[in-house]
A and B are shown apart, each in its own frame.
Chain A
Amino acid sequence: MLLRYRGSEGMLAWAFHRVSGVAIWAFILLHVFDIWLVGVNPDLYNELLSVYASPIGRVVESLLGAALLYHALNGMRVIIMDFWPSMTRYHKQIWYVNWVLFAVIGLPILVQIMAPAFGLAAPFTFGGQ
């Protein structure tokens, strides 16, 4: 199904939704496990954290963020079409608006995540430490 490519926006939107969903599911398995470690083996958790905070870890986090943001925005598109079927007429336009939102929301977050990996910023905290 995924590989029988028809090439329209609706098909692409669906395929990206499925791939990002499965990727996020896989991360949830890892993430619940690492948080479980905080209680039972904090040292191992801290070791895992240094992998997450490494430059490669930051690239993977950025990809995770992209999957999450796409899935969230396209999920809203699905809900709009499911509950207001007349909006299905504009499914392509909603998808394009989603990509604009994806860039506007995603780029600042991408910069914030990746900057420490390039030595462009100290590990940040807006919340005080």
Chain B
Amino acid sequence: MAPRVTRTGTVRPQGGGWELAIWYLMRLTGLGLFVTALAHFIIVHFIYDPSLQTAKWITDERWGNIAWRTVDWLMLTFVVFHAFMGLRSVVQDYTKGGTRTVLTMALYLGAFVVFAMGTIAVATLNFPVKP
């Protein structure tokens, strides 16, 4: 028998629909971020010192090939969904009525802006000119 109360997180919504889809996607993107975000942190804080990561280094090395850009764009996709839907849960816990609606809409708008800025950054930065 499944317990009625979980110890952390959001209880699985009953009856399907969007809320259940979001519930599953929070866990799926969480798994994706467990791999991509932790690997990202280890690369940029453990393998390479932050002081070395100049704009030139990002253009020439870190984002010098399309594979890393693809991985980082995938991470962006996961994190925008996970972070903003997480904030939506926080908003739903502490607000109601008009405040909740306004804050939730602001979050959706913010998510769109962050996703657009990140996508523009990863897609439009010039590749290094190989000699």
Contacts and interface: CB of A to CB of B under 8 A. Distances in A.
Interface of A: 1, 10, 13-14, 17-18, 21-22, 24-25, 28-29, 32-33, 35-36, 38-39, 42-43, 45-46, 49-50, 52-53, 57-58, 61, 65, 68-69, 72, 74-79, 81-82, 85, 88, 91, 108-109, 112-113, 116, 123-127, 129
Helix, strand, loop or mixed for chain A's interface?
A: helix
B121 A28 contact: no
Interface of B: 1-3, 6-9, 12, 27, 30-31, 33-34, 37-38, 41-42, 45-56, 58-59, 76, 79-80, 83-84, 86-87, 90, 93-94, 110, 114, 117-118, 120-122, 124-125
Among B9, B56, B90, max chain A CB count under 10 A is at B9
Contacts of B3: 85, 88
Contacts, number: 136
Given A36-B118, A72-B37, A28 B83 contact: yes
9 contacts: A13-B8, A28-B83, A38-B55, A39-B121, A52-B50, A72-B38, A74-B8, A88-B7, A109-B42
Contact of A32 (B9, B41, B121): B121
A92 B38 CA distance: 24
